[in-house]
Structure 1
Amino acid sequence: MSEHDPVSFQLAGLGLRMYPGEYPVDEVIPHKHQWALHDALTDRLPGLFVDDAPTGAGKTLAWLAPVVSEGLQTVAVYPTNALIEDQVRNIDEKLEDVEGGNNVRLLAVTSETLQNEHAEQFPSANTNGERLRDLLKVAFDSRETVILLTNPDIFVLLRREIYRERIDAISRFEVAVVDEFHRATRKERNTMLFLLDEMYETNEAICRLNHLVFLSATPEKELERQFEEAMGVPYYRVSEVNWRETPLPEVPDTEESVIAFAPNELPSNYRAVLPPVDLTITPAPTFEAATAILDSEDVLHDRLRDGRTVMMLDGVHEVDQVYNSLAQSDLNGAVRIDGFHRENVREKLDTFETLVSNSAVEVGVDFDTEQIIFSGHDAASFFQRLGRLRTRPNRSAAYAYVPPYLLDALNSMANKYTGQWIDRATFEEYVSSGYIDASTPGSFDWRYSAVEAYDHVEKRAKSAPSDDQPAIRETGWKRIERHFFHNHEKELTEADLKRLYGVAGTPLLDSLQTYRGDSIQTVVYNNQSQTLQTYSIPHLLRHGDVSFHSKDEFLSILPEQLHNQVSRLEPYSSGYCLYQGGYEDETDTTDEEQLTGRLVTYKATGELYSLLSDVSRDIRTPKVCTGLEIETEPSVSGLDLLKGGLSDTEVLCYPLEGHVSQIQNQYSLGPFGFIYPLYYTEGDAAVAFSHDALYLHCRVQDRIEAESNTIDEVLDF
């Protein structure tokens, strides 16, 4: 077997035991994790509860049943708006069978709902903050159980009072549910955990939050440490505990709550949550899985004829490649869902024969499929996508495309388990250990998250009565120390943190206060789907058939019913773009970084040039700059209009000397550590934006610290 040949495995299915009892949901026999969370919430046990049951095991029902039956006011935080939309439908259906489900006020809050249906509901409200304040006031006055579904961006804006209106209703929630938390970045994890910890520790007369529920994969080591040591709330893995004196029901010791099973071997008192899978793994560089898939179109077409298929790729341009190829073939029933094709999502999910997508369906959204074809650029993505083949006992098929280097580890495993069914835990351990670790450096905690938290505490203290300010600062500092200074070689003092905070400056601090950070975006009209949205400028320029226009010309292109949406989106945009599909590259190139799409280069001008030329790498820090310029080869129609829009746009930048590939290798960034070529008269250079700029700065400073073997220089930041 060559190191570049595909390898095959037989993965055992996963079954969960069913435990009968008086559960508050009609015709549902719960699993152990559902009973555990039910008992904790109905007994009002304060704590942080992690439900790491597999995909398809009923994690939504695990928290929904007890909060509804007990009337607990709940905020549920989902990573994407698409998932919020899907969960509204899912929860609304479940409420019909849940005890107390007829007394629930289910609210979905995103920037889109605030600008549309909630704006119509509260016509006198002039801002999103006012609408949200009025919406929650009416909901809590109704004496119903309120379940608010929102995204982490809005949750953070609420808690940090970044909306112009103070919205005290956030403190009335008793339960916070956070879905898919293992997919959050380090910055996002730190932000969410710090704010939830603060809410939990606040006097109950002010904030009622007593139960934190995380629906997640099994926490990796660092996240487990944060749950156990950083948080002031007791931590429980619900799959490992039972609060009843007598387990419900009594079962023989030989019967496990979770079992692996081969085809046709699932006992009747267990339910399949993951099927037995014939898995084929093929090498393909990240962002080139589509090319590898289409290199053997006959093989692909044979696979697609075996049943309903979901394909999950990394880039929209890959979705373009595969979908366009299928559309021209004799196979019917192919649909696509991605950032540019979000219309009729539920209809597509219910009716597809072949679904071509990217991360848009990776998380949470319900669908049924008989097989999957996916790319796995890292371990988390690999298992997230593999786990979407679920809730079926029948033998199924999966085809994964992974970085070529991973095949070395997998070859030895395939030889060891030839002809055997491998349990999922063993397989996951092998595969996870084979991936290169490109995780965010731990120094991000004290370099940036601590500064972000310090800024938050200062703002809360300054807005409080003078008598309360010392206590807020004291407890805030202790919380910062607990969350962010746990593994530092030198104990940092509050004076150190004040120094970092003072040097950071207001623009950088402002960029840290939001959950995901800013990106370089433009308003985009998709001429194919006739939809309007904002989207990443770097991706559009490299992979889109796009043109840029003045506002007046852009409005003349749009259907009239979309004109009002432009005013909603343009505050977050640097231009007006018409998208007509993927860009078809007709040029040959040997540049390994520009294998597909246009060559996109940024120019070091103004503040960005000064940052690169006048500040040495040892002391250079990310800075919010204006005057960013972009060039493309081939050119893009209307690019000068985009340049004009970008000239005043504030962008958090961190430039470095060196070629892009050199920097990626030197600092182990991986393919998703986004940096871009930067034209610089003195030689090769590259630039990272937004939170990527902060992560790269941490890696550079960590290297300097390791070489100097001191921390004092780093603290001068």
Structure 2
Amino acid sequence: MTELSITLKPVYSRTVSNPLGVTLPDGWSLSWHQAETFNALSDPSLDVVFNTAMTGDGKSLAAYLRAMTDTTYTLAMYPTNELARDQERQVQNYKTTFNPKYDPQIYRLTGATLEDFVETRQLPSKQQGIIDRADNSEILLTNPDIFHYIHDFRYLRRDSKKVSRGDNADKLFRKIDDNYKLFIFDEFHVFSSPQIASVLNALLLIKHTSTPRKFLFLSATPSELLQDFLSRAGLRYQIIDPGNQGAYRFAASDELGWRQISQPITLTFPDNLEPNVRSSYDWMIENAESVILKFFLDHSSSKGAVILNSIAAVYKLLAKLQPLFFQHGLTVLSNTSLTGERERARSIFDADLLIGTSTIDVGVDFRINFLIFEAADGGNFIQRFGRLGRHAGFPVYQAYALIPNYLVARLFTEKDGKSASLQDGQECDRVALHDLIRESWLFINQFEGYPKRWGTIQSFSSWNELQSPRMKEIYPDAAEGFKADTEAAFEFSMRQKHGQVYHCIKEKQHAILDEARSFRGSSQLDCAIYDVTNHNDPERDRFKTYNLPGLLSNFVFDLMGKDEFLGNVKKAGLPIKRFQEALCYLVLKDYREVRENWHFYHAGNVGELARLGKVQILKGLEVTAGENAISKALYHRSMVCYISDRRRDDLRAKLGLPMQFQAYGLSDDSNDRSPPYTIAFGQSALLLETLIWHWKPKEDEGWIC
């Protein structure tokens, strides 16, 4: 094994006196950024606050300090269920410690818990479930998806023939916006331009239909795109950046007023990893005993995590490491989107070594001193590396960054007469390392054109709702104010968008409009699965959903009939609604050692479909792997998609597509080993069209449908 290592210096955060009116528990003090955040959220001249404090410096306390010291009803949003679960524990601890007089009730609401709540309480709708939780939760932890759908009028009861007979458009969003004074968006940097557009639309709807509210974004790297939109829309914001204000040090000092927030870490880069999906896995198998297990045997009481990009790699590695560690009385557990609820909660506390994917790399507070991680881009590297060094009490802290050899070379090799950015054995501070990682990584597309082209579909929808007589009676100036702000922010014409939307409706392209109004995209390719790979899972936790491409590539499965599957779901006491629209129903049996090679197939003239150069709704797709019944189910389903006449690898390289971007090979020949076309589905189709619509002839420009 050849490798290069650096040592990360410890990090110290400056502490300050308490803001006026704030009383802390004995022995507590505030970091500079926490006090500044509290003051900014009290400033009537500000609408939005960004906190960019370093991982481990207490951004959560900065977010909840007002709720703990004042009667501030708070709605907090987290991008993953695991992070929401972690933060629920944290907020409960704050409540116990601060003991606020108004005794805030804390509740965590996800899509699954909402469905369960509605069914167990026998409520008539999800709308009633949300209202019930809002009425009984002074602090509500949820996800930005639910926030989006509330402000996109999705939970309302509507008469399709006569809207006036249904709920008023503000029935639910006004309830939420009137109830909560502070809205927190945690780890918002993990989202891209579709979610940025969605959140801005919601913020502007609140601005014009409610009294002033505060919005707090917690992110180490605040989106410049969002900042631009806020400025153009007239929303006033402040960035609280302790790094730029001298609030961090990287050496111990006798001077009072500094608190250590990160431990010294040895960061090692294996320098021989090829840029392919197999290389990292092979490295871990080769070093399972000599590096991974050895660390735990040399340093008793150690805790560790492995964070990978591929869910299949997690389970293959789990099968290798579990028996190896078990021989020494050590526990290895997994935590992925396929992990059951009980096993997921257990894994955080019981595992000596936890192996997971993106479900654990966003914000979850692990007490670990050993970390191995892959990274999809520079921001992802910083995010995952930030899991380590947050807690004192271990004798040594070790990380291995499994990134491609060409990236390691950029960091450690001289080029064009310039000295290398890093030297083997060098000491470095975190801020400098973060800057080098961002500079060295390849360009990743941020899809800046998406909000104007597709995010404004939601803008039009909201404006159209505000135009109704019932809404104008309650909010007489809201429609014009919202129109002016969204047009300024996104630099588009509502009048032109009106024409585009109604053209889509006329052409029966409603599914494309629905896709544009979704938050993370629809689940067109999701399959319902019954997972028998983990014998410890209780029956309820075996029922899951997962996307077809991932299943075909990485898993061994059998078919199950829809009626049988839904019957089993009902017997397990689960709501069947979340599984009713699945593409197909499968029994997940095992994980493939070798990734399956397959592609999408269409018997029609794919070249002609690609020449359309626009998002379309397509039937007749099949896949070249799996049971015929899967292709049959896919064949009859109408799919929102975009087809390009460029190969997938060429598009990825030319456009800087993110690693997880859902683009797949497509051919009109089922035996084609190198499909000449690329197909993207759902929101990915809209994103891809945004990037390459101008590649088509000029006479094809115009309507988005």
Match of 1:109 in 2: 109
Closer, same or farther: CA 713–93 of 1 in aligned 2, 3 Å: same
Match of 1:212 in 2: 215
**How many pairs are equivalent?**
653
Instruction: State the distance in 2 between where 1:39 and 1:7 align.
Output: 44
Instruction: State the distance in 2 between where 1:555 and 1:191 align.
Output: 33
1:355 CA drift (Å): 1.0
1:312 CA drift (Å): 0.4
- Normalising by structure 2, what TM-score? 0.85
Aligned residues of 1:675 and 1:688 also touching (Cα < 8 A): yes
Match of 2:168 in 1: none
Amino acid at match of 1:19: V
Closer, same or farther: CA 463–628 of 1 in aligned 2, 3 Å: farther
* 1:501 equivalenced with 2:491 (yes/no): no
Matches within 5 A, 1:368-407: 368-392=367-391, 395-407=396-408
Match of 1:18 in 2: 15
Of 324-333 and 374-383, the range deviating more from structure 2: 324-333
Closer, same or farther: CA 456–398 of 1 in aligned 2, 3 Å: same
Match of 1:541 in 2: 552
Closer, same or farther: CA 268–279 of 1 in aligned 2, 3 Å: farther
Closer, same or farther: CA 197–473 of 1 in aligned 2, 3 Å: closer
Aligned residues of 1:678 and 1:686 also touching (Cα < 8 A): yes
Match of 1:526 in 2: 531
* 1:689 equivalenced with 2:691 (yes/no): no
Matches within 5 A, 1:413-452: 417=423, 419-452=425-458
Matches within 5 A, 1:110-149: 110-120=110-120, 122-123=121-122, 125-136=123-134, 138-139=135-136, 146-149=138-141
Amino acid at match of 2:260: A
Match of 1:259 in 2: 249
Matches within 5 A, 1:129-528: 129-136=127-134, 138-139=135-136, 146-165=138-157, 166-167=171-172, 168-172=174-178, 173-199=180-206, 201-202=207-208, 206-227=209-230, 229-239=231-241, 256-261=246-251, 269-282=257-270, 283-285=273-275, 287-288=277-278, 289-297=280-288, 298-305=290-297, 306=299, 307-329=302-324, 330-331=327-328, 332-342=330-340, 343-392=342-391, 395-412=396-413, 417=423, 419-462=425-468, 464-465=470-471, 471-485=477-491, 493-504=493-504, 505-519=509-523, 520-527=525-532, 528=534
Closer, same or farther: CA 265–323 of 1 in aligned 2, 3 Å: farther
Amino acid at match of 1:14: V
Match of 2:5 in 1: 8
Amino acid at match of 1:86: D
Amino acid at match of 1:694: L
- Normalising by structure 1, what TM-score? 0.84
Instruction: State the distance in 2 between where 1:534 and 1:694 align.
Output: 23
1:507 CA drift (Å): 1.8
Amino acid at match of 1:373: I
1:650 CA drift (Å): 3.7
Match of 1:55 in 2: 55
Match of 1:623 in 2: 616
CA-based RMSD of the aligned residues comes to 2.9
Aligned residues of 2:187 and 2:219 also touching (Cα < 8 A): yes
Of 327-336 and 407-416, the range deviating more from structure 2: 407-416
Closer, same or farther: CA 391–102 of 1 in aligned 2, 3 Å: farther
Amino acid at match of 2:295: R
Instruction: State the distance in 2 between where 1:304 and 1:699 align.
Output: 47
Structure 1: unaligned runs, 5 residues or longer: 140-144, 243-254, 486-491, 586-596
SS in 1 for 2:345: helix
Amino acid at match of 1:653: C
Aligned residues of 1:309 and 1:372 also touching (Cα < 8 A): yes
Match of 1:82 in 2: 82
Instruction: State the distance in 1 between where 2:294 and 2:254 align.
Output: 29
Aligned residues of 2:189 and 2:222 also touching (Cα < 8 A): yes
Structure 2: unaligned runs, 5 residues or longer: 158-170, 414-418
Instruction: State the distance in 2 between where 1:512 and 1:645 align.
Output: 24
Instruction: State the distance in 2 between where 1:651 and 1:272 align.
Output: 52
Match of 1:575 in 2: 584
Amino acid at match of 2:237: Y
* 1:642 equivalenced with 2:630 (yes/no): yes
Amino acid at match of 1:7: L
The CA deviation string for residues 110-137 of structure 1, in whole angstroms up to 9 with x for no partner, is 22212223543x32x222122223333x
Aligned residues of 1:9 and 1:414 also touching (Cα < 8 A): no
Aligned residues of 1:193 and 1:231 also touching (Cα < 8 A): no
Instruction: State the distance in 2 between where 1:230 and 1:344 align.
Output: 46
Amino acid at match of 2:373: F
Aligned residues of 2:543 and 2:569 also touching (Cα < 8 A): no
SS in 1 for 2:599: strand
Closer, same or farther: CA 69–43 of 1 in aligned 2, 3 Å: farther
Instruction: State the distance in 2 between where 1:134 and 1:468 align.
Output: 24
SS in 1 for 2:23: coil
User: How much identity, in percent, do the aligned residues show?
Assistant: 20
Aligned residues of 1:284 and 1:401 also touching (Cα < 8 A): no
1:95 CA drift (Å): 0.4
1:663 CA drift (Å): 3.1
Aligned residues of 1:279 and 1:398 also touching (Cα < 8 A): yes
Closer, same or farther: CA 334–8 of 1 in aligned 2, 3 Å: same
Aligned residues of 1:451 and 1:500 also touching (Cα < 8 A): no
Amino acid at match of 2:286: D
